[in-house]
A and B are shown apart, each in its own frame.
Chain A
Amino acid sequence: NAGVMQNPRHLVRRRGQEARLRCSPMKGHSHVYWYRQLPEEGLKFMVYLQKENIIDESGMPKERFSAEFPKEGPSILRIQQVVRGDSAAYFCASSPASGGNQPQHFGDGTRLSIL
């Protein structure tokens, strides 16, 4: 049973470009969560999605950031017009059901570097 798959593992962008990060949840999981981690810090919740629905985006900046989880294909976190402060590791997690009492399993993350 494949785990949570994220790609790319590393992404380099210049200021002003767009970054697209992809996440395929574990088989049988329909709930996806995106977290951001700065060096030497903890994980910060960004957004929670189910298929074709954004359930909670309270942790995501209102400008330049967007997320989707289409009926077919992976979940995508999109950052437009990237700035140096967007440099971080972005982790995706999935769970089989919603609820705070379900374990979330993480992917290997995408390390985003902004030049």
Chain B
Amino acid sequence: GENVEQHPSTLSVQEGDSAVIKCTYSDSASNYFPWYKQELGKRPQLIIDIRSNVGEKKDQRIAVTLNKTAKHFSLHITETQPEDSAVYFCAAPESFNKFYFGSGTKLNVKP
């Protein structure tokens, strides 16, 4: 089955700095990789996703890169703001019907 590992588990940055979170996966058939942001006590919210036919996707201050050969994908947040503070989860699919989630990265953006 799919195995998703996420690093780091916690990340503290100064406002305005960049943050990078990395995930690795094991199933070479996986072809879709979403990232979710979860604020305390709230639902996971899809913030960006990438399909395997592209290597990078950007949406304003958020970008995701994918290296299929190495089986890893990363979330990049530039010009971080205090409201970016949350837990971020990556996910990868198995058997096209369920996602395996990483263990989460708690991002703290210090004003």
Q: Which of chain A's residues 91-115 have a Cβ closer than 8 Å to chain B?
A: 91, 98-109
Say yes or no: is A69 at the interface (Cβ < 8 Å to chain B).
no
Is B61 in the interface zone, CB < 8 Å from A? Answer: no
Q: Which of A56, A102, A106 contacts B44 (CB 8 A)?
A: A106
Contact residues in A for B34 (Cβ distance below 8 Å): 103-104
A79 to B42, CA, bound (A): 22
For the complex, what is the distance from the CA of A95 to the CA of B48, rounded to whole Å? 16
CB distance from A37 to the nearest CB of B (A): 9
A101 with B97, Cβ < 8 A, contacts A41-B103, A109-B43 known: no
> What residues of chain A lie closer than 8 Å to B89, measured between beta carbons?
42-43
- B interface, CB within 8 angstroms of A: 6, 30-32, 34, 36, 42-46, 49, 51, 89, 92-104
Residues of A that sit less than 8 Å from B by CB: 33, 35, 41-45, 48, 55-56, 59, 91, 98-109
4 tightest A-B CB contacts, nearest first: A100-B93, A101-B32, A100-B96, A42-B101
